[in-house]
Structure 1
Amino acid sequence: MDRKYTVVIIDDNSIALKAITTTTDWEKLRCRVVGTATDGITGLDLVKEHAPDILITDIRMPGYDGLQLVRLIRERNDDVIVVIISGYDDFAYARTAMQLGVEDYLLKPVSKEAIENALASVIAKHEKKPSATKGGNPIQEELQAIDSKAETYSLIVRDAIRFLDQNISKNISQQDIATRANVTPWYFSRLFKRETGIGFSRYVTLKKMNQAMILLENPQNKATEVARNLGFQDYSYFFHVYKKVFGHAPTENKYHPKKEKNPYEADES
């Protein structure tokens, strides 16, 4: 496969950060580092800016720690592959990390080979997941498969899907749904993923991107207006998410070709 995976690395130890960045064979892994940071706040900004495929982060660092960072990222994008590198051999950390969907948890000091093996493993696992990218809209089949089973879902999940559909222009978080259903965000997150097969954040992203694509069929709708109408205050973030989902910019909508002119239709002159 020719796909290149984008990577953001966050570690408050600048020596360790440089070692990971410079010694890892990114070319062999089909990866490209798009940003590095030494604190969680800057790191979160990088993730918002680049919407990377992979995040490698330490746990203990200024600003947001690694687990806080992953929680915040999961609210925006459930697709990021996360690998944690930590100097703390603490089961509680590892358990929380796994609950947040972290793909791997490596202990420092970590060798070049360990990082490369971990990344190769998570990428291979990611590429084995079923894909709905064949033909036409690359997300329509996935959404249809989820929505077609709505009658089998619990009341909480059905209500979450309906509420999102009715408020697609707003930023609906797991916390919003959990509060509405009077359950914990953790319980709702696990319930939604168990019943639908994907995380709620990913479902929100797919719904918004599908709606964006439909709106962009109309050449009168500007991409910036579509982004704003779907609750994206930051157009650059909308651009990165759209491009990540569809493989092209919002202004290059190629899944809906222009309607051909009817050759029997009389020209107005």
Structure 2
Amino acid sequence: MYKVAIMDDNQIVLDSILKTIDWEGLDCTVCCTADNGIDGRAKILSHCPDIVITDIMMPGFDGLELTRLIKQEMPGIKFILITGYSSMDFARQSIRLGVFDYIPKPIDNEELMKVIREAIQKIEEEHKEKQGVLPDAAQPQDQVLAFIEGVKNNRKNYSALVQQVLDYIEKNLYSDLSLKKTADEFFISPSYLSSLFKKDTGQSFISYVTMSKLNQAKLLLANPRYKVYEVGNMVGYKDYSYFYQVFKKYYGYAPGKAPE
């Protein structure tokens, strides 16, 4: 089932979405809720939902800021914003941040369910595309390595800048690698780096960095001298629970445990 997070500071609205939508019929489950953007961000990073439904106006981080922060770390999440705004400025910001869609107030359940179905369809399409770049013989636990090798094996076809970025990622794998930090290193904008990296490799910058770190973490975890939290720290994940969730989501088993 697909995991959904719901964020709204109006408890009545939150309860309405939670209780009146046929989640089982959508093949979804609500994994967490929050009434402010700060708690919302923490819960999203902890639960790793596939879809986030959030009000645009919330204390802490508003819906747009929450989207921006999460998209930097987990770009695959589909954000559906609930809003009373219909201005062009809001629409432009939403598009720039990669918001999947937005629902006007008052909420129409049929419209919301339609958008959720479309988000699920998009997730499934992206999953199939990702599977398409992996060797057919790859087993689930080998997909991360296959993903990385697929990028590296084609690097001669990439622009000189992307090749330099790949070298930079490899040399700085144990640090806190972010899109902005890397873009600053090469004196270019994050949006340009993101676009160029995706154009050349077919993969997002964040996905490649995440999988490179996880592959290295898997190698380190094979050494019994390292504890799980130590390995997380070594590859740049200071938050143990976040490292645990990301590792389990990609590999299908918890760090430090043998694959089933």
Q: 1:220 Cα shift? A: 3.5
Q: What residue number does 2:78 align with?
A: 81
Instruction: Indicate yes or no: 2:193 matched with 1:196.
Output: no
Q: What residue number does 1:121 align with?
A: 118
What are the superposed Cα offsets for residues 223-258 of structure 1, whole Å, 9 maximum, x if unpaired? 121111111111111001111111111122328xxx
* SS of match in other structure, 2:25: helix
1:93 to 87, 90, 93: 90
Task: Tell me the amino acid that sits aligned with residue 52 of structure 1.
Answer: P
Task: Tell me the amino acid that sits aligned with residue 47 of structure 2.
Answer: H
Contact 2:51-2:119 within 8 A present in 1 as well: no
Instruction: Report the count of equivalent residues.
Output: 252
Separation in 1 of the partners of 2:155 and 2:92?
31
Q: Per the alignment, do residues 194 and 105 of structure 1 end up closer, same or farther by CA in structure 2, a change over 3 Å counting?
A: farther
Task: Tell me the amino acid that sits aligned with residue 124 of structure 2.
Answer: E
Task: Tell me the amino acid that sits aligned with residue 222 of structure 2.
Answer: E
Gap regions ≥5 residues in structure 2: none
Separation in 2 of the partners of 1:220 and 1:253?
16
Q: What residue number does 1:152 align with?
A: 157
Q: 1:94 Cα shift? A: 2.2
Gap regions ≥5 residues in structure 1: 256-269
* SS of match in other structure, 1:137: helix
What are the superposed Cα offsets for residues 84-123 of structure 1, whole Å, 9 maximum, x if unpaired? 2221112222232222222222222221111211111111
* SS of match in other structure, 2:258: coil
Separation in 2 of the partners of 1:220 and 1:254?
19
Q: Which runs of 4+ in 1 moved over 6 A?
A: none
Instruction: Indicate yes or no: 2:6 matched with 1:9.
Output: yes
1:174 to 173, 179, 193: 179
Q: What residue number does 1:227 align with?
A: 232
Superposition pairs for residues 24-35 of structure 1, below 5 Å? Answer: 24-35=21-32
Superposition pairs for residues 254-269 of structure 1, below 5 Å? Answer: 254=259
Contact 1:213-1:253 within 8 A present in 2 as well: no
Q: 1:159 Cα shift? A: 2.0
Deviates most, 34-43 or 188-197: 188-197
Q: Per the alignment, do residues 148 and 95 of structure 1 end up closer, same or farther by CA in structure 2, a change over 3 Å counting?
A: farther
Q: 1:170 Cα shift? A: 0.7
Separation in 1 of the partners of 2:88 and 2:160?
34
Task: Tell me the amino acid that sits aligned with residue 103 of structure 1.
Answer: F
Separation in 2 of the partners of 1:123 and 1:30?
9
Contact 2:37-2:62 within 8 A present in 1 as well: yes
Q: What residue number does 2:216 align with?
A: 211
1:37 to 31, 34, 39: 34
Contact 1:94-1:105 within 8 A present in 2 as well: no
Deviates most, 46-55 or 171-180: 46-55
Taking structure 2 as the reference length, the TM-score comes to 0.89
Q: What residue number does 1:52 align with?
A: 49
* SS of match in other structure, 2:6: strand
Higher helix content, 1 or 2: 2
Separation in 1 of the partners of 2:11 and 2:171?
46
Taking structure 1 as the reference length, the TM-score comes to 0.87
Deviates most, 173-182 or 49-58: 49-58
Instruction: Indicate yes or no: 2:146 matched with 1:112.
Output: no
Q: 1:66 Cα shift? A: 1.4
Larger Rg: 1
What are the superposed Cα offsets for residues 142-186 of structure 1, whole Å, 9 maximum, x if unpaired? 222222222222233222221111111111111111111111222
Separation in 2 of the partners of 1:43 and 1:100?
17
